[in-house]
Amino acid sequence: MNNMTRYRTLFVVAMLLAGSHFGIAAAIDDVKIEVSHDLCEGAGANDKNFIIYATNLNASQTIDATFKYNSSPPQQHFILFDAGLNPITDRFPKFHVRRLRSRESASIGCTYTYRAALQPPGPLSVPMLITAQNASYVDANAAEPSPEDARSFAAFILQGGINACAAGAKPPGLFYLVNLHPYARLSASMNLLDDHGTRVGALTPTLSPLSATRVACSNGFSKPGPITDATLEVAPGVAATLPATPTLPAAPTLPAPPPPAANPPLPEHREPPPIEAPPLAPLSLGAILRTQNVCAGSPRRAGSKSTTPGIPLSAANPRPSPTTSGPSSN
């Protein structure tokens, strides 16, 4: 394989990984988790144990979502007894997958589960923290994951310190049956046994998700035997009630502006009447002669002619005689 072929192969793999990561990121953004006001079955009014729902917000695609279930405080562990009454360690966190159809809402757990308390009467309420770990879009007709082993979700907790429960072959205490499944109902069957292991009765409890129910003392007459049968029933999701998309209010209709007021007519422009000059009084002959004399006495340029009739220019403006200022030179 040459360098160019290797580069192209790596580029295609990188693009596929990037596209897969983008699809997972987009799918998980379409999963909404919320705590409801619906009480989990089996919880008392004072337990404040509410159902937690997950909703697929996508309008057209189905999602397989993996949810993480942790205790609070996180990563706690407890001693339980499995369906065969063998001691086991129950550890948090746990993971479960649920398929969500388009615009479907389904229960995925409760706000509490139950374990044995250190002191009676018990049991202890353990807060649950549920988050979406990952999600992916799947074909709506794709096969569901294989059914889970119902018996693996049936377990017992032993609440010690109960005076009514005597000592015996097993640690003394009161057995509770616990449903470990976060969103499926558990139906179980068990025998009640005497001290010799003889069947003296039977119990067929049905438990809601993550709930617990009292069974019997661990020793004495009519103590519980191993689980003989168990089934899980998952409640179907329901169409999600999503808030309507808010619409912007229509812009208010403004009243039409009033038509512009008509301009008032301009006053008619009229030319002012001509002013007639007052008639001049006729000048006397003496005034005319004086005016001419004044004009004749004003200086003139050389070569100009006298305007005084009958008077020669030399007579009107005689030149002075040249004056000698010393002996003349021959």
Write the pLDDT tens digit of every residue in 154-166.
999 999 999 889 8
Residue 167 pLDDT: 87
Q: Evaluate whether residue 175 is within a structural domain.
A: yes
Q: Which amino acid is at 155?
A: A
Write the pLDDT tens digit of every residue in 225-239.
999 999 999 999 999
Band of the pLDDT at 253, cuts 50, 70, 90?
low
Q: Evaluate whether residue 232 is within a structural domain.
A: yes
Compute the C-alpha angle 125/91/178, nearest 5°. 50
Among 156, 178, 174, smallest CA distance to 81 is for: 156
What pTM was estimated for this model as a whole?
0.67
Residue 69 pLDDT: 98
Q: Evaluate whether residue 258 is within a structural domain.
A: no
154, 179 in Cβ contact below 8 A? yes
68, 95 in Cβ contact below 8 A? yes
**246 alpha-carbon distance from chain centroid:** 14
Q: Evaluate whether residue 174 is within a structural domain.
A: yes
Among 179, 181, 243, smallest CA distance to 32 is for: 243
CA dihedral 234, 183, 207, 75 (to 10 degrees): 150
Left (φ > 0), alpha (ψ -120 to 50) or beta: where does 57 sit?
alpha
Q: Evaluate whether residue 256 is within a structural domain.
A: no
Structural domain boundaries enclosing 144:
3-237
Residue found by looking up tokens 């509410």 in the block: 50
Q: Evaluate whether residue 92 is within a structural domain.
A: yes
The SS3 of residue 255 is coil
Across the chain, mean pLDDT equals 80
Domain count, the chain: 1
Q: Evaluate whether residue 316 is within a structural domain.
A: no
Cis peptide leading into 309, omega within 30 of 0?
A: no
Q: Evaluate whether residue 209 is within a structural domain.
A: yes
